[in-house]
Structure 1
């Protein structure tokens, strides 16, 4: 499949705007559509017009063509992800706008540099492990339990993803989990929403760390973090 880097480079070459947010994003276009990948206020769904997929869930595979409205895009999800491996994305039509090549390049480079600076690129990782928490889920009960935590007053921790959210990394950090390791897997001190492989980590090491994070964040904040990653088995 087409790598996101290749697609971003192609858009830049043609002075097409709409994918700047994906500067430095790993993986393929198909994967980005499936998970409705997003960063820096942009999402994959913002550029999609049509998607073609191969339905392999039945004995006789068939081609399915969907318009944007039929793709079921939600925060880090889509109909393709909900179908649990029943479809393979084979083709997509994107809508991009003509733009200023210099400004497009500057935005892409800015986003790539942010990833290099803030993300633990020195180790293999899962990428963003947990979904950010929509601000709408932070109610008065949660704030009353945690008097030091009031996102409505602490605007510095709120970001647009593309709607207002509290980063999962904030909760993980405040729960004191930065640098915690199990086996060869570690919660990155650099960005605690990343679980990195520091020494031949096993799947069980990662699973145990994920469960530890969920338990500790729920204990401290009464918030249940949802996984952004998907387990294959």
Structure 2
């Protein structure tokens, strides 16, 4: 029974989140004690559901771009012809961690203008490192016996990569993607400072009007999304690990 408790709690969290996004007015009585001077309890400058979907879209686009570049770089530097480019690749993917997202936004706005594009650049750069490093780890720690068996079976380099290396490394790669997504979910809120449509709008509106309810709404929605997506990707990661024979089924 205890094993089902986390699943039940996640289900409850998902149900409450959906209910709040679809019908936020139901929760107004819970937020009214936080208000002053008859301020609105529910964010009233736009749809919370729409902002949430736009927030997720921004994170998804940036993450897909980071996956493509980071995984490609990691594959290239683990091939004999690309090994010498490993230090350069590490330097490139570390750019996002070297510059704070706010600094990236400040540099990107004069070039790309206000809106979603500067935010995508910041999230893309910030999400590269965990995906690259995990892909590198996954591809360089494969069982030697499995690789020898693949060579003995007459597989080409491309066949070994697509049919053996990437499938076996996928749980580790997915762990990096999971970390990148969670970081991006939180970081995307600052995109609203440059007019991107994210849940940061709700938090900023709350700070500007001293409305704690608004700040709480934006923060809780982002937190709930991070927990649910983290758990979902963790479940997929465990499933892939079992299929690859890397963990037991117990």
TM-score interval (norm. to shorter):
under 0.3
Question: More relative contact order in 1 or in 2 (CA 8 Å, sep 6+)?
Answer: 2
TM-score when scaled to structure 1?
A: 0.25
Task: Return the structure number with greater helix share.
Answer: 2
Bigger CA radius of gyration: 2
Task: Return the structure number with greater strand share.
Answer: 1
